[in-house]
């Protein structure tokens, strides 16, 4: 049995010369034990370095025994074992299941080297569970496509070489091996959705339709193909509508509603944003994109906000507020700004256009606004204007106003962000170079 699975295992993997090593996610359970045995044989035959990683979540009273078992199996297979211990927050509001999964993948990402392959033991029955859970939450094609056999991960590849192998086949293979495996008692807790499906629903489905897992896998593969096609279409539409990371509204008007929604989802996903519901996506279009010309619309959901400015949609952090700090700055210093606004640098400059050197009575500071009624004259302009009018001219969205670092010489404005230098502060002689390096403060969290 193990030899038949090994043949399929090898066929699903990329060319071995593309790997700098293998890392197996090893829980000590039945599935990952079979995976580790297969990976050990593959690594020996291909001359690859193999390591295993076990994450100790501390949730089970048997967790230390599981570590001991994993150490024994790895010693027998001559595979180095890494053990990572993590702490989960039982009262954080997030499910322990979700916390454990996130902690596990963070550990795996931290240990995976550049160009290495991470192997996980997800199998055909796991795919069926994933499909049913996706149906429960009303997922689209991306969710219904389930887990893919290969995807980029932390500088390497995440591979699932057992996706076409059933749990029954793995159990038969594991029974033929001398290593044994651990049983996580939480797998019997049907309050977890996956366990309910595994213990109750899927056995009934497979009793009625024995090929259910295989046919579901074919449907998921078709969904994955359709999703890839939609992704290609969205990429083509994005090239026509992109304005930096913003999205121009005009090109979207010519698209059908379905195609427009596909592009909007692609745009949000591209920036690492949380996907809106269908209803929220409709509100985004009707209440933000198509709002009155003189409106300043926004729609908040999750950890982001969609705003409109000068015919473009922007995805930003919600609740961005003006800053009122006054920060001291010295020549040659890099100054970190508050609220994720990045940093500013004021460096000596030998030649070329830049700021003049400050006089002794002109202490340097960084602020985010100007006194009421102040008039500024950018270099090269014929007259002075209020800062609000200048920011409008320079195309600065309303939510960024009051968040742009302004360099002061004494009480006089010398430079506003990277937008302009003020008249009287520029020189062609030796002076200073002023730089603002914004962080992703106006982008949604990844």
DSSP string, 151-171: EEETTEEEE-TTTTS-HHHHH
Rounded to an integer, what distance in angstroms lies between the CA atom of residue 86 and that of residue 338? 31
Q: DSSP secondary-structure letter at 324? A: -
Residue 211's contacts (CB-CB under 8 Å, 6 or more residues apart) are: none
How, if at all, do strands 22-25 and 50-56 pair? parallel
| DSSP-H helix ranges across 152-283 | 167-175, 193-196, 202-208, 212-241, 250-253, 257-270, 278-283
Rounded to an integer, what distance in angstroms lies between the CA atom of residue 100 and that of residue 88? 7
Tokens of 186: 């939480």
Tell whether residue 342 is among the known ligand binding residues. Answer: no
Residue with tokens 């670092």: 405
| Bridge partners, residue 331, by sequence | none
Give how far Cα 57 sits from Cα of 36, 72, 293, 344, Å.
20, 19, 53, 42
Report helix, strand or coil for 431: strand
Tell whether residue 32 is among the known ligand binding residues. Answer: yes
Residue 93's contacts (CB-CB under 8 Å, 6 or more residues apart) are: none
Tell whether residue 31 is among the known ligand binding residues. Answer: yes
Tell whether residue 29 is among the known ligand binding residues. Answer: yes
190: phi then psi, degrees, rounded to nearest 5: -80, 5
Rounded to an integer, what distance in angstroms lies between the CA atom of residue 126 and that of residue 147? 9
Taking only Cα atoms into account, the Rg of the chain, rounded to an integer number of angstroms, comes to: 29
Tell whether residue 417 is among the known ligand binding residues. Answer: no
Residue 101's contacts (CB-CB under 8 Å, 6 or more residues apart) are: none
CB 217 within 8 A of CB 145: no
Tell whether residue 30 is among the known ligand binding residues. Answer: yes
CB atoms inside a 10 Å sphere around CB 37: 23
CB atoms inside a 10 Å sphere around CB 3: 9
Q: At what angle do helices 212-241 and 124-136 cross, to 10 degrees?
A: 60
Binding residues: 27-32
Binding residues for ATP: 27-32
């Amino acid at each position: 049995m193990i030899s038949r699975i090994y043949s399929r295992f090898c066929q699903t993997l990329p060319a071995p010369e593309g790997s700098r090593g293998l890392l197996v996610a090893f829980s000590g359970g039945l599935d990952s034990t079979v995976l580790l045995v297969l990976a050990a044989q593959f690594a020996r035959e291909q001359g690859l370095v193999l390591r295993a990683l076990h994450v100790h979540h501390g949730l089970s009273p048997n967790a230390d025994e599981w570590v001991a078992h994993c150490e024994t199996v790895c010693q027998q297979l001559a595979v180095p074992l890494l053990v990572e211990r993590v702490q989960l927050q039982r009262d954080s509001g997030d499910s322990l299941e979700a916390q454990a999964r996130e902690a596990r993948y963070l550990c795996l990402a931290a240990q995976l080297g550049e160009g290495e392959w991470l192997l996980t033991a997800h199998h055909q029955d796991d795919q069926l569970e994933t499909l049913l859970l996706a149906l429960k939450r009303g997922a689209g094609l991306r969710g219904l496509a389930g887990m893919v056999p290969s995807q980029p991960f932390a500088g390497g590849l995440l591979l699932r070489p057992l996706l076409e192998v059933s749990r029954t086949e793995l159990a038969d293979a594991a029974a033929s091996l001398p290593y044994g495996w651990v049983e996580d008692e939480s797998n019997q807790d049907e309050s977890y959705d996956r366990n309910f499906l595994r213990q109750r629903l899927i056995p009934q489905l497979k009793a009625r339709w024995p090929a259910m897992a295989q046919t579901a896998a074919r449907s998921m593969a078709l969904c994955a193909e359709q999703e890839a096609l939609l992704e290609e279409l969205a990429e083509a539409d994005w090239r026509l509508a992109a304005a930096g990371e913003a999205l121009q509204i005009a090109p979207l008007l010519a698209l059908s509603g379905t195609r427009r929604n596909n592009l909007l989802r692609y745009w949000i996903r591209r920036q690492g944003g949380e996907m809106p519901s269908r209803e929220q996506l409709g509100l985004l279009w009707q209440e933000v994109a198509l709002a009155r010309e003189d409106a300043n619309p926004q729609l908040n959901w999750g950890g982001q906000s969609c705003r409109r400015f000068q015919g473009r949609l922007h995805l930003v952090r919600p609740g961005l507020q003006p800053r009122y700090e006054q920060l001291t700055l010295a020549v040659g210093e890099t100054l970190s700004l508050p609220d994720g606004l990045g940093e500013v640098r004021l460096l000596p400059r030998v030649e070329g256009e830049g700021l003049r050197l400050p006089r002794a009575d002109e202490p340097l500071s960084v602020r985010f606004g100007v006194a009421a009624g102040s008039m500024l004259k950018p270099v090269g302009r014929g007259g002075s204007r209020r800062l609000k009018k200048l920011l409008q001219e320079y195309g600065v969205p309303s939510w960024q106003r009051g968040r742009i670092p302004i360099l002061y010489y004494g009480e006089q404005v010398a430079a506003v962000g990277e937008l302009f230098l003020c008249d009287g502060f520029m020189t062609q002689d030796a002076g200073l170079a002023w730089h603002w390096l914004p962080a992703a403060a106006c982008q949604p969290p990844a």
